[in-house]
Amino acid sequence: MRQPLLLAAAFLLPLPAAAQLQPGFWSFPGQPNLPEAELAALCVTGFSLVLSDGGSLSYLPGEGGALRQDAAMTCAPDGADAWTCEGWVDNGAGPEASRHTTSASTAEGALRLETRVEGQGDQPVVTWPQPCPPAAIRAALALGIAPRD
């Protein structure tokens, strides 16, 4: 009887906030709990593919409407709810090295991220990651993915 009780208690313990960011297609808007139609519209115009190792690949529409990869990051944990990522970001002038630290928490019933990009001051960028609806990802991928130059 003791073992089922322990297992039940384990399921009631909250997971670290960062564990909510599972592999898959995500949007990182500036507000939590978007309506599905609004979230879908954001995902069609850009998304990040979070990988199982914690890294990510980001895509935005490019010239001609096809998606282009605008970032690639590898990440390492800095505790239960924080990590540091390194890689490249292309803001239009070509890929540039980038490094940032992110901490996760739960607020307003949603996952909240604070990201500080090295060289861009101490003010964090706050986002509320939300998984993209599958239909939105299918629509985005139908645009095609442009090869990197």
- Rounded distance between C-alpha atoms, residue 87 and residue 99, angstroms: 7
Question: Which strands sit side by side in the sheet containing 67-77, from one edge to the other?
Answer: 125-127, 110-117, 95-107, 82-90, 67-77, 56-61, 47-50, 24-27, 130-131
Q: What is the pLDDT of residue 149?
A: 64
Distance from the Cα of residue 24 to its chain's centroid: 9
- For 106-126, the pLDDT digits (tens) are 988 899 999 999 998 889 999
Whether pLDDT at 138 is above 90: yes
Whether pLDDT at 14 is above 50: no
pTM: 0.84
Cβ proximity of 145 and 71 under 8 Å? no
- For 16-70, the pLDDT digits (tens) are 677 888 999 999 999 999 999 999 999 999 999 999 988 999 999 888 889 999 9
Q: How confident is the model at residue 5 (pLDDT cuts 50, 70, 90)?
A: very low
